[in-house]
Amino acid sequence: MTYSLTTPLYYVNDRPHLGSTYTTIACDALARFQRLEGETVLFVTGVDEHGLKIQRTAADQGIAPREHCDRITARYLEAWRQWGISNDRFVRTTEPRHRPLVQAFFQRCEAAGDIRSGRQTGWYCVGCEEFKDEPAEAKEPCCPLHQKPLEWRDEENLFFCLSHFQERIEALINQPGFIAPASRRKEIQNFVAGGLRDFSISRVNVAWGLPVPGHEGHTFYVWFDALLGYLTALLNDGGDVDLDRLGAAGWPADVQVIGKDILRFHAVYWPAMLMSAGLPVPKRVFGHGFLTREGQKMGKSLGNVLDPEVLLERCGADAVRWYLLRDIQFGDDGDFQQQRFTDLVNNDLANTIGNLLNRTASMARKWFNDAVPPIDSSAAAGHALQADAEQTIERVRQAMPELRFQQACEAILSLAIQANGYLNEQAPWSRMKQPGNEASVASDLYAVLECCRLVGLLLQPLVPDLSQRILDQLGEAPAVSTWKERLIWGKLNAGSPLPQPQPVMARLELDAPL
């Protein structure tokens, strides 16, 4: 089966920030999980490159829009490479194949009678690429978000007849599970209940956009064009740009992950566009929360922006991924606190998980010839830790497809805690001092190492690098069998050599603020 998921197509106004990194990491974890589960995954990300705002940003720098996009997009590509993001597609809305797709899509909407022309007058914010509701007689109005002057517009635009879709959109968003998390549903329902208004999908005098076929001088409104990038991405499989191929190419997406700020576009406008064009709507739209830093909104004016490049450079991908996925309920807002970040990473990854592996491997090597204790496979079955391990596997399997990363992390962690507690209870180091305990110590150490192996495997989608180091440390050969086959109690090779223990996770010691 194909499982497709998307991040937003990030606007190339600036290089990647922590927010887009967060979204992308979460999607990466989900994509990796689905792949391990045996799905054929299409993990889509990309960039949204059109619009007046880009045109102006480029002009300010004295370069062509294309040049500006190339520069910023290169930053995105480089960032995702450094973070080890496993996306299958990376789409640019300026790539040649996108244009015919947008035009074909538009023509379907037009043929369906969902496009009309109309006059649009009002105050416009270029930052938002949106008309604002300031009264016409306002003098020098400002955008509350961007703190920049609004511009007066009076132009003939093409409109998408969103009003035609009132009932269908209501039915869609009432479907449980379409909008996730459920807590965000009501807001959208209220918005829709207020009556859907047609929205303009073209601009005049914006050169940096895709031309609207049959309407001289109009280019597509950036949002219209950007949303369609998801489809272009899926059709970038070597085949033609043909909307009829989408079903085979992975559309509809299983989940589209976005920040809560753009939920409306994805849960209302976008499905209506798709309905008009006779295409299926995404199965789920997940609006996650925002990150603050030490309790404050991050922003240039406050000068407290946390740079993902710095974070990666100083702390590494594993630490950051773990903290974000483990500490923040995906969907809710979260606060990045440096103290908590280091505490959690050190406690969970270095102390609890890393040290468990380290201490157990040391004992096994010391008393069992530098190897996993050689017990026969039947002896592993029914060990006290087996039930805990199996329950953990189950919990991770349930949490991950629901994007409940926090629950998955907690489940894994609790297995490591159980195993640590078990070791202290059994105290194999003292029992080894009396003769005759070798067999039971062997069995216990095997069981704890087996827990480590399962912890390592389960961590694979969440913190892939650390996962690899754990499995390496257990002397696991490169995987020949599938994840599912390996996620079975007792698959650790008894008697196989254990390498010299090395800490798999260094403690974070940040001497200066990030």
Partner RNA sequence: GGCUCGGUAGCUCAGCUGGUUAGAGCGUGGGAUUCAUAACCCCAAGGUCGGGAGUUCAAGUCUCCCCCGAGCCA
Interface pick for RNA out of 147, 190, 434, 500 (rule CB under 7 A): 190
Q: Which H or E run contains 430? A: helix 428-431
Continuous segment of H or E residues that includes residue 212: none
Are 481 and 466 a contacting pair, CB within 8 Å? no
In whole angstroms, what separates CA 93 from the centre of its chain? Answer: 20
Residues 395-434 touching RNA, rule: CB under 7 A, are 417, 420-421, 423-425, 427, 429-430
Which CB sits closer to RNA, 205 or 347?
347
> Using CB under 7 A, which residues numbered 7 to 36 contact RNA?
none
Of the candidate spans 92-100, 113-121, 152-160, 324-332, the one that interacts with RNA by CB under 7 A turns out to be 324-332
> Which of 86, 163, 329, 493 contacts RNA by CB under 7 A?
329
Taking the complex as a whole, the smallest distance from the CB of residue 230 to RNA amounts, in Å, to 21
DSSP per residue, 305-348? PPPHHHHHHHH-HHHHHHHHHHHS-BTB-EEE-HHHHHHHIIII
Closest CA to 208 of 97, 104, 65, 92: 65
Beta strands (DSSP E) in 148-302 are 151-160, 179-180, 199-200, 202-204, 218-220, 255-259, 285-288, 291-293, 296-297
- Among candidates 317, 375, 373, which has minimal Cα distance to 345? 317
Q: Does 499 bind RNA (CB under 7 A)?
A: no
- Name the phi and psi angles at 113, rounded to 5: 80, 20
Site for RNA in 427-486 (CB under 7 A): 427, 429-430
User: Is the CB of 111 or the CB of 439 nearer to RNA?
Assistant: 439
**Selected binder of RNA within 8, 334, 461, 464 (CB under 7 A):** 334
Backbone angles phi, psi at 224, to 5 degrees: -60, -45
Residues contacting RNA: total by CB under 7 A: 53
Q: Which of residues 129-168 bind RNA (CB under 7 A)?
A: 133
Q: Should residue 333 be labelled a site residue for RNA when binding is judged by CB under 7 A?
A: yes
Encoded tokens for 99: 């244009």
Select from 2, 13, 338, 351 the one that contacts RNA (CB under 7 A): 351
Choosing from 359, 397, 431, 491, the residue that interacts with RNA (CB under 7 A) is 359
Which range in 97-105, 241-249, 298-306, 326-334 contacts RNA by CB under 7 A? 326-334
Distance CA 51, CA 65 (A): 10
Q: Give the amino acid at 400.
A: M
Which of 191, 198, 237, 245 lies at the binding interface for RNA (CB under 7 A)? Answer: 191
Instruction: Select from 275, 281, 350, 449 the one that contacts RNA (CB under 7 A).
Output: 350
Cβ(454)–Cβ(487) under 8 Å?
yes
CB of 472 to RNA, least distance (A): 13
> Could you say whether residue 504 binds RNA (CB under 7 A)?
yes
Task: Provide the 3-class DSSP secondary structure of residue 89.
Answer: strand
Look at phi and psi of residue 391 and say left if phi exceeds 0, alpha if psi is from -120 to 50, else beta: alpha
Binding test (CB under 7 A) with RNA, winner from 164, 391, 507, 514: 507
> Measured from the CB of residue 133, what is the shortest distance to RNA in angstroms?
6
Among 363, 449, 457, 463, binds RNA (CB under 7 A): 363
Q: Quickly count: other Cβ atoms within 10 Å of residue 425's Cβ.
A: 9
Cβ neighbours around 386 below 10 Å, total: 16
Contacting residue, 264, 283, 397, 431, with RNA by CB under 7 A: 264
CA–CA distance, 382 with 303 (Å, rounded to integer): 56
- Identify residues 272-311 at the interface with RNA (CB under 7 A): 295, 297
Q: With contacts defined by CB under 7 A, name the span among 232-240, 245-253, 341-349, 375-383 that binds RNA.
A: 341-349
Q: Which stretch binds RNA (CB under 7 A): 34-42, 81-89, 109-117, 322-330?
A: 322-330
Chain positions contacting RNA, by CB under 7 A: 133, 183, 186-187, 190-191, 194, 260-261, 264, 295, 297, 327-329, 332-335, 337, 340, 343-344, 346-347, 350-352, 354-360, 362-363, 366, 417, 420-421, 423-425, 427, 429-430, 501, 503-507
